Structures are given as structure tokens and as C-alpha cells.
Amino acid sequence: MINEKGIGAVNTFALKANLFSSFAIVAMLAAAALARKVLPTPELGAMCYMMSKQGYLSDRDGHWHPHLMFFLPLTDPTTWGGGLPGSPVLGALDTPGGVTVFIVPVGQCSDGTAAPSF
């Protein structure tokens, strides 16, 4: 089921943040939107994927590997294996967003080509 209200909030936020804003401005707008409850928190088990070869994370990280992202309420990432030695799962706390993000790199891009090696 599609959450129309959530989509509208995200679209409104995206328009205000736009691609030309600095990270600081986008972070400030996101924090304000979350505080006002304009942006919904992800539902338990929400996920997204970044599978394109053209995926670009940031100026610091550049292009990265195709991966899946799972969102859960704030929790210690190691509880789910995030960041543990030998685990394929990475974990990060997004405290302003109120979620823990688990990242799972995958071996293939969306076009079927092999992902770059680590």
C-alpha cells in the first residue's frame, strides 16, 4: 500500500531542499521537517535500494557499490550484525532522522553487470 501522505511530504521536502542546496541546508531542512512531523518516520522494516552504476553518495564517498538499505527505529547496529567483523551488513545511526540504517552491498548493478569489488 502506498502512503500518499508520506509521498506528498517527501516531495514537498525535496522541492524545498532541491539539488542545488548545500548539505548543511538540506540537513537543517530535514531536521526541521522531522521536528514538525512533516516528514513521516519510515515504517518498521522500510527499505530502499541503490543499484545503479551511476549511484553517487557524496563528494567524500563518490560512487559506491550497489546496495540495499533497511530502516529500523534507533537501535545499536551491532544488535543486527551491522559493522561486526566478517558481517556483510553495515550499520549507521541516523539520530536526527530517528532511524538506524542497515546497508547490505550486493554483487550486481541494476543493469546486470557485476558490482565493483571492495
Do 53 and 79 fall into the same domain?
A: yes
Is there a single domain that holds both residue 46 and residue 33? Answer: no
Q: Is the domain of 58 the same as that of 103?
A: yes
Q: DSSP secondary-structure letter at 114?
A: B
Q: Are residues 31 and 52 in the same domain?
A: no
| pLDDT > 90? residue 78 | yes
Answer yes or no: is 90 within a domain.
yes
In the DSSP assignment, the letter for residue 111 is T
Owning domain of residue 15: 1-40
Predicted confidence at residue 8, as pLDDT, reads 44
Residue 100 has pLDDT above 50, yes or no: yes
Query: Does 6 reside within a domain?
Result: yes
| C-alpha angle 113-46-104 in degrees, rounded to nearest 5 | 40
Q: What is the dihedral of CA 57, 62, 68, 74, to 10 degrees?
A: -50
Based on the structure, what is the number of domains in the chain? 2
Tens-digit pLDDT profile for residues 5-40: 444 444 454 545 555 566 677 777 777 877 787 777
